[in-house]
Amino acid sequence: MLPRVFLESGKLKDSVLNELTHVLVLFPASLLAGGQLPQGLPGAVLLKQILGRQRKKPTALLRVGAGSGKMPQEALVPEATTLGGGLIRWLAVDPDASTFLRHQQLRQALSGLLAEQPARLDIVFHGSAGFVASAMPDAAYVAAVNRVSMPKTVAADKTTKVAGTAKSGKTGEIRLWVGARDQAFLSTSLAGVMATAEANTLTRALCVLPPNQLTPGSFRALIPAQIKGLGIRCDTYDVAQLKKIKAGAFLAVAQGSPEQDAAIVRLTYVPKVKPVKRDPKDKSATQALPYVALVGKGICFDTGGHNLKPARYMAGMHEDMAGAAIALSVIQAAARLQLPVRVDAWLALSRNDIGPGAYRQGDVVTALNGSTIEIVHTDAEGRMVLADTLTLAAAAKPDMVLDFATLTGSMTTALGNRMSGFFASQRHLGARLEEVGAAAGERLMPFVMPDDYDSALESQVADIKQCTLDGEADHILAARFLNCFVGDAAWLHLDLSAATCKGGLGAIGTDTTGFGAALTVQLLQSIAVKGLPRSSPAF
C-alpha cells in the first residue's frame, strides 16, 4: 500500500533539480538566525525572487508561537515553479519543536505537492548530519502516510484501490536526498518509519470500510493475509467457544446480531531470539522476553442497541472497531521489525445490533471472571466486550496490558478530537506512554481513576453496574469498570477520542487518523531497547 522510498546519497545539482517535478526542501530553522537565507540552499535564487515579490523577509519562514495575547503565526511555505516546470517548496524545520508540530508543518508543506498525486516526490535535506538524522524519519513518515489515499469502496465486490494505482498499479516513489551521510544508520531508521507508516495506514484503511463490507466475519477473514509469513499465530474464540467458557459480557453484546459471527481473536508473536542466560551455571535460567498484550475494541457497527443512537451520533459508527485495527496493525509491525518483544493482540470483534435477541436495560449477565453485571445502557457495549477480552488477556500473565477503544463520548467532551486520554494502573506505565506518544507525534492526556468513583457503580442486583445514566465522568467510570477485569496486571487503558478529527491531525491529513498505531509501535520499540517501565507507586 505504501510508496517506495529511497535514500539518495549524491549531491543535488541545479541541473538535476530543474528536472524534478515535485520537490520539498527542508533546512533547520536555526540557519535563518542571521536574517538571511542559508548558503547553498537548493533553489535559493527562486526563493529570493518569491520573497521579494511578496515583500517578505526570510524570517517569515519561521513559525511564531502564541504569546503576549497574540494567536500563533504560521510559517510561510513559499512555492515556485522551476525552470523545468516542476513544483518546489521550502520549509524551515525547528528540531526543538514538538514532534506533533513538526509533523503538522510537514503535512501542510507536502499537501500542495501530494495533491497532484505525483509519480515521484523528492525531499531534499540541507543541513548538518544531525539535522538530517532527526528530520528524515519525520519527513519520510508524513510523506508516506499522506501519499496513500484510503480505499475506494463504491462496490463490495471490487478490491480496494489507492491514489495513483488505477492506471499504473503503483503508489509512486519518494526520494530522500540525504547527502553523504551514514547510510546504514539512516536505512535502519527508515525501516522503522515505514513499518510505523504501514501500521497507521492499515488502521485507517480498515476504519473507513463501510459496515456492510467490514463485519466481524469479514474482519476475521482478512486476518490470515495480513499475518502471512510473519510468524504470527492466530486463535479464534467463536460464539460457540465463548458460550463454552461462559464469556457472558461479550456474548450479551453479540447476541443481537443475526449472523452470530462475533469472536475474540488472539494473535501471538513470539520473536525468534537466542535466550540469554542469567546464570551461566544454571542451564534452565534464561532471560524472559518482555511480554505485552494489546486488546482492541472491535465493534464493526454500533447502533446503540435498544438504547438506539440518534442519526447524528450513529453516523461514523462503522469506525467503532478502531481499537482492534490498531492491535492488528501493531502486532504486524512488531513482527516485520522482528522486535525482541513477545506480543499478543486480542481483537474483540462484534456488532451492537438492535433486534428481538439483543440485550436490554435491566438484564444481569455473568462475565468470564464470574462477576455479575447489571446492564444500565445498551450503548455502553464497548466496556462489555472488553471486560471478557481483558480477562482472557490478563490470564496469560503478560508483563503489561494495553487496551484501545473508541469508548466514551465524555472523553471527547473533555479533550475534543486533538488528543486522546488514558488511564494507568501505575505511574511508571503512564510516564512511558506519555513519552512515546510525544515522540510519535500523538498527544496524550493522563487521567486518574480514584477508587471512590466505584460507589457510582454499586448495584442492588449484581456485583457491578455497567455504567450510570447520569453521564458524568463516564470516561473515569468506564476505566473503573474495566479495572475489575484485569486482576493484578499492569494495565493501560487508552480512550481514543482522537480516532477521528475533521481536517486531519498532526501527520495525518484524513479525518480518520489511525491515532494509537504510531505511539504503540514506538512503545514496543522503546521496550525492545530500554526494557519494561520500572515500577513506581500506583496513582
Alpha helices for 262-379 (secondary structure H) = 311-314, 322-337
The angle that helices 474-483 and 382-395 make with each other, rounded to 10 degrees, is 30
The residue behind cell 488502521 is 203
Q: 180-189: which pairs have CB atoms within 8 A and are 24 or more residues apart?
A: 180/9, 180/11, 181/9, 181/129, 181/132, 181/133, 182/129, 182/133, 183/7, 183/9, 185/133, 186/7, 186/132, 186/133, 186/136, 187/7, 189/133, 189/136, 189/137
Catalytic residue selected from 107, 297, 351, 383: 383
Comparing CA positions, the residue from 403, 331, 370 lying closest to residue 249 is: 370
Q: How far is CA 430 from CA 128, 472, 476, 481, 538, in A?
A: 35, 24, 15, 19, 10
Q: Is 383 a residue of the active site?
A: yes
Q: Is 266 a residue of the active site?
A: no
Three cell numbers written together for 490: 499492569
DSSP state of 258: T
Comparing CA positions, the residue from 402, 413, 404 lying closest to residue 475 is: 413
End-to-end Cα, the chain, rounded Å: 42
- Asked whether 169 and 221 are in contact (CB, 8 A), the reply is no
How far is it, in rounded angstroms, from Cα 530 to Cα 523? 10
How far is it, in rounded angstroms, from Cα 332 to Cα 195? 9
HEC assignment per residue over 140-209: HHHHHHHHCCCCCCCCCCCCCCCCCHHHHCCCCEEEEECCCCCHHHHHHHHHHHHHHHHHHHHHHHHHHC
Which amino acid, residue 254?
A
Catalytic residue selected from 63, 120, 309, 418: 309
Q: In what order do the strands lie in the sheet with 464-465?
A: 364-366, 372-374, 464-465
HEC assignment per residue over 120-133: EEEEEECCCHHHHH
172: left (phi over 0), alpha (psi -120 to 50) or beta: left
- Asked whether 420 and 496 are in contact (CB, 8 A), the reply is yes
| Contacts (Cβ under 8 Å, ≥6 apart) of 37 | 44, 47, 48, 58
DSSP state of 486: S
The DSSP-derived string for 54-89 is HT--GGGGS-B--BTTB--BPPP--EEE-TTS-EEE
* Burial class of 66 by CB neighbour count within 10 A (0 to 12, 13 to 18, 19+): exposed
Enumerate the active-site residues.
Answer: 309, 383
